Amino acid sequence: MNTATSYDKQIIENDDPMENPDFKTVGTTTVSDPAMTCRGVNVFYADKQAIFDVSIDVGKNEVLSMIGPSGCGKSTLLRCLNRMNDTIDICKVEGEIKLEGENIYEQNLDVVLLRARVGMVFQKPNPFPKSVYDNVAYGVNLHGLATDKAHLDELVEKSLTNAGLWNEVKDRLHQPGTGLSGGQQQRLCIARAIAISPEIILMDEPCSALDPIATAKIEELIDELSKQYSICIVTHSMQQAARVSQRTAYFHLGKLIEVGPTDDIFTNPVHKLTEGYITGRFG
């Protein structure tokens, strides 16, 4: 109730005709070939609502970027997609999130299996304090994906190659992963995620701790990965969203304001709030 009132107040303050309580998302939220679908998702932290009735699809082999000011709920929504929010006791998710037609918030759904299918890359590069090899092999061993040592070696090499890291680390596979540079660490984390062949990779501001060159490498990698995986990326850099994604969703105060092809969003957004955000006219 508390939030509802503060929200009403917000509208009055804004005095914006586009932002009324029965506000509808601008643009096409659905795609013809979705890997994941969200319908009417509401997320609460205790009694504070963080996400309001969001419906959006993540298409197969597409990069969907989610942008918006801090606290707009984009990271929260991303974390709902592989139930990382489960670790927060007070977090409650309503609505329907389906992976290949299966509701991931079903009681009997196995979270471990879900996270094997929906991988995640985090804001800060977070390799395990183990060797490069063990970092990649960890998930593989966890899910018993390798039949023997040779197969494991092969999977590790393939993942590191696909993450564009193999040539840089092949001579120091057994040195600690934490000894790599920031960009290499983040690519190691991506290698770790793709080693278990997920269907979707979620990325939560993957370049925010990296320098521009490392960022460019990651972006190139995202482009490369989108041939095989569906990728959902949260980013604070609008240029990054513009560069890597095919579709862009703009969030504001927990609501999905506008979603559409990236080309349109960045040249000719429909909603005033979207326009204000991406052109830098935001109070």
Partner 1 sequence: MNTLETINAGIEKRYKREKRFRLYGQISIATGILFLFFLLGTTVLNGISAFQQTYIALEIVLDTDQFDTDEDGDIRPESLATANYNGIIRESLKARFPDVKKRKDKKALYSILSSGAVYDFRDTVVKNPQMIGTTQTIWLLADDEVDMYVKGKISADIPEKNRRIKDNTIAWVEQLRADKDVEKRFNSIFFSAGDSREPEQSGIRGAIMGSFYTIVVAMLLSFPIGVAAAIYLEEFAPRNRLTGLIEVNINNLAAVPSIIFGLLGLAIFINYFGLPRSIPLVGGMVLALMTLPTIIISSRAALAAVPPSIREAALGVGASQIQTVLHHTMPLALPGMLTGTIIGLARALGETAPLLVIGMVAFIVDIPGSPLEPSTALPVQVYLWADSPERAFVERTSAAIMVLLMFLVAINGLIVILRNKLERRW
Partner 2 sequence: MTTQSEGHIFKRFDKEMQQLHALVLQMGELAADQLQQSLKTLENEDPQTAQQVIENDARLNALDIQADEEITTMIAKRQPMAKDLREIIAVSKIVAELERSGDEARKIAGLTIRFFQPEDNHPPGEEILRDIFSLSEYVAEMLILSMKAFDTLNLSIAAEVLIKGQKLDGQLDSCLRRLSTFIMQDSRNIGHFIDIVLGIRALERFGGHATNIAGHIVFIKNGTDVRHVGDSAILASIKENQS
Query: Among 46, 100, 113, 211, which residue interacts with partner 1 (rule: CB under 8 A)?
Result: 113
170 to 189: interface string for partner 1, x by CB under 8 A: --------x----------x
Residues 6+ apart with CB under 8 A from 271: 18, 26, 250, 257, 258
Q: Which stretch binds partner 2 (CB under 8 A): 23-31, 35-43, 57-65, 237-245?
A: 237-245
Pairing of the two strands 34-45 and 255-261: unpaired
**β-bridge partners, 260:** 248
- Using a 10 angstrom Cβ sphere, with 0-12 exposed, 13-18 middle and 19 or more buried, the burial of residue 43 is buried
Residues between 254 and 273 that touch partner 2 (CB under 8 A): 266-269, 272-273
Query: Among 50, 84, 163, 242, which residue interacts with partner 1 (rule: CB under 8 A)?
Result: 84
Query: Among 4, 14, 142, 175, which residue interacts with partner 2 (rule: CB under 8 A)?
Result: 14
Q: Does 60 bind partner 2 (CB under 8 A)?
A: no
Cβ atoms of 64 and 38 within 8 Å: the answer is no
- Radius of gyration of the CA atoms of the chain, in A: 19
Q: What does DSSP assign to residue 200? A: E
Identity of the amino acid at 239: Q
CB nearer to partner 1: pick between 42 and 178: 178
Residues between 124 and 183 that touch partner 2 (CB under 8 A): none
Query: Among 89, 150, 213, 227, which residue interacts with partner 1 (rule: CB under 8 A)?
Result: 89
Q: Does 122 bind partner 1 (CB under 8 A)?
A: yes
Cβ atoms of 118 and 203 within 8 Å: the answer is no
Cβ atoms of 266 and 255 within 8 Å: the answer is no
Residues that bind partner 2 (CB under 8 A): 10, 13-14, 16, 69, 238-239, 242, 252-253, 266-269, 272-276, 278-283
Residues that bind partner 1 (CB under 8 A): 82, 84, 87, 89, 111-116, 119-122, 124, 126-129, 138-139, 142-143, 178, 189, 192-193, 196
